[in-house]
Structure 1
């Protein structure tokens, strides 16, 4: 039989099955047991348990699984983050983390488990950006568990997430932008595409626009919400950042497109009749008045416009980059461009569109040459 010690220091014994067992008394009178193949292994566990008791930390729950903890964590964090962020958390955990790591006991999750999980996801074709996003979510969840004393360490801090591959920004030049607007003429959502390339608004912001947000006569538009659809549920959320709530002055081509579209919108609503969905009063709904799923109608029409105009394939978000790049190349103050895009800080604008800076510098030199030449 192994050596026994004072209960306040814990006890270590050798079991009949050959394994070693350590026990420590908890402040509530209960006793916690730890097992190992060697005496040294249980001594290490016992010392850590005694340190935790002395510091007031509860012992790890050896029975709680990663899935059980993350389910409870999601219910808590739901009220702490934006709706769009929560659905990103929920999807990442439900689709990726739980199927791979959910059955592991939370207290026994190792860095090797997590590193192998990341590798499997990359090998299955998931992008490095998505895997890194999963890493950040899992890190936050385990950080909360560690803070509450549920685990002794955050194993995500001991692994290397994949580096994010920077998505190449593709923009249209001035001539191509004009071809895009021309090719959009006649499309049902022509006004949406014209707004996208002339204001730099995000897709969710465009789809979340209501008629009350636009004053066509004054030529101004107010960004107040964004449309987000997840698992069939429609959400109208606050824009991405505080500065994303903004007022934008419209170009003549945008005003013309909106006037034309307003007539079309009213005709569609009248033709569809009383079943037209008036709940959201969106500017850019489907032909039945319902919110548009961005991945469907917008994407289909967008790629059709690019093809008809003979333009290279770009993402819808690249229309935002195009608007910003064209404004900066034409000498628009970067601060004004930043405000128009809804960036939280001008440094973000300059960081994203640093490729324009050399051309802006040359424009400044040309101005000085004209002054002193």
Structure 2
């Protein structure tokens, strides 16, 4: 049996009844179209029968050709599935997230509930067009957020990412053929203006004033690892002979409770240590069980960010004369990146240190710190051209 065929409904009882009602309505002045005589029928990949009617035979024939091509190529989408409300697809998407930690999933949940579902929840998934999404992004950029304040560029980008994830799920689940979330201009994130790049002298002064957490501050400033990664380092993950620390897990603060989970982007990695700094870690490692935390709170257990800021960090920043820089522990990542770049590290090395998803992301954030090598390239080109001209203009020795 053919997978797609045309059925003539002229002699079908239901068609005749529909035509009689249409003719009566037409005599009464109705301008609606007559019922479709030609019914295209087919079996979808799920084996279930589908149908769609057309008023003219050429229309039905064109639909048969289109359906047959999509079924052959595997690009077929059930027209009915595209009618699913976006809130249904959004719940499917959020429930399918497996790699993300609880904090990330909670953040996505909040954005769904605040901005995505209130706008798109009742829309049919297949009805959302590129222009609709573009207008929505404009609204996110210009209108106050749900808490009365303008959304930051980073928050707008993440909100857009959530809708994009939902639509990508709709494509993968064969509800729609293509996502409308592509090639949209998002507001520029000017967070680089808030970066703080400490010199070696400033970093060492800060560490010297951090009391018992001198080594912890140096770890943040020289490796660029995140706060949650730093407080989750276990003794057994230090490889001091090789000048490495293995970053495998991170703590996240979820509703006031610290939860141990995977590192961001699932980028497990080894970060390098300067030799002198690796030696400073020895007293924290020797004689301790490999499963103990390398850095702990004064009372034991993992360090808590608010306590560290209030009790140790803010005082160290002030004592080091850095209190006008709006410096936070997280911003020591920028210092680590800048010091590594100044030492000659290439983008791939810095990407590995920081746990970025790609070197492209590293270049987007820190590309301005790499020295301009255009003159260096021009000088090499000059040398090559001069050598070529010298060869071309060299006198040719006479034959014989």
Deviations 1:237-256 (CA, angstroms, capped at 9, x unpaired):
146465x4115335545654
* Residue in structure 1 matching 2:270, options 246, 262, 268: 246
Contact kept? 2:81, 2:175, Cα under 8 Å: yes
Contact kept? 1:196, 1:206, Cα under 8 Å: yes
Q: Comparing 108-117 with 308-317, which one deviates more in the overlay?
A: 108-117
Residues of 1 paired with 2:300 and 2:231: CA distance?
A: 12
* Residue in structure 2 matching 1:126, options 151, 160, 165: 151
Contact kept? 2:265, 2:357, Cα under 8 Å: no
Query: Which position in structure 2 is the counterpart of 1:105?
Result: 124
Query: In 2 relative to 1, CA 100–254 (structure 1 residues): closer, same or farther, beyond 3 Å?
Result: farther
Q: Which runs of 5 or more residues in structure 1 are unaligned?
A: 267-277, 363-373
Query: In 2 relative to 1, CA 228–50 (structure 1 residues): closer, same or farther, beyond 3 Å?
Result: farther
1:184 partnered with 2:210: yes
Deviations 1:1-54 (CA, angstroms, capped at 9, x unpaired):
xxxx9459xx998976865587655434455589xxxx9xxx99x999767644
Contact kept? 2:235, 2:285, Cα under 8 Å: no
Residues of 1 paired with 2:360 and 2:314: CA distance?
A: 32
Contact kept? 1:60, 1:149, Cα under 8 Å: no
TM-score (norm 2): 0.63
1:165 partnered with 2:189: yes
Query: Which position in structure 1 is the counterpart of 2:334?
Result: 321
Query: In 2 relative to 1, CA 107–290 (structure 1 residues): closer, same or farther, beyond 3 Å?
Result: farther
Query: Which position in structure 2 is the counterpart of 1:369?
Result: none
Contact kept? 1:245, 1:342, Cα under 8 Å: yes
Query: Helix, strand or coil: the match of 2:191?
Result: coil
Query: In 2 relative to 1, CA 233–226 (structure 1 residues): closer, same or farther, beyond 3 Å?
Result: closer
* Residue in structure 2 matching 1:223, options 230, 237, 247: 247
Contact kept? 1:21, 1:33, Cα under 8 Å: no
Query: In 2 relative to 1, CA 354–22 (structure 1 residues): closer, same or farther, beyond 3 Å?
Result: farther
Q: What is the number of equivalent residue pairs in this alignment?
A: 327
Residues of 1 paired with 2:284 and 2:172: CA distance?
A: 57
In the TM superposition, residue 216 of structure 1 has moved relative to its aligned partner by: 6.4
1:69 partnered with 2:89: yes
TM-score (norm 1): 0.66
1:198 partnered with 2:222: yes
Query: In 2 relative to 1, CA 217–346 (structure 1 residues): closer, same or farther, beyond 3 Å?
Result: same
Contact kept? 2:240, 2:278, Cα under 8 Å: no
Q: Which runs of 5 or more residues in structure 2 are unaligned?
A: 1-6, 43-47, 145-149, 377-400
In the TM superposition, residue 201 of structure 1 has moved relative to its aligned partner by: 1.9
In the TM superposition, residue 66 of structure 1 has moved relative to its aligned partner by: 0.8
Query: In 2 relative to 1, CA 66–115 (structure 1 residues): closer, same or farther, beyond 3 Å?
Result: same
Residues of 1 paired with 2:156 and 2:180: CA distance?
A: 16
Contact kept? 1:248, 1:340, Cα under 8 Å: yes
CA RMSD of aligned residues (A): 4.6
In the TM superposition, residue 293 of structure 1 has moved relative to its aligned partner by: 5.5
In the TM superposition, residue 101 of structure 1 has moved relative to its aligned partner by: 1.8
State how 1:53-64 maps to structure 2 within 5 Å.
53-54=67-68, 55-56=70-71, 57=76, 58-61=78-81, 64=84
In the TM superposition, residue 95 of structure 1 has moved relative to its aligned partner by: 4.0
Deviations 1:180-222 (CA, angstroms, capped at 9, x unpaired):
1122124xx4432221012222223212211222366886533
* Residue in structure 2 matching 1:355, options 346, 369, 373: 369
Contact kept? 2:85, 2:124, Cα under 8 Å: yes
Residues of 1 paired with 2:340 and 2:49: CA distance?
A: 70
Query: Helix, strand or coil: the match of 2:201?
Result: helix
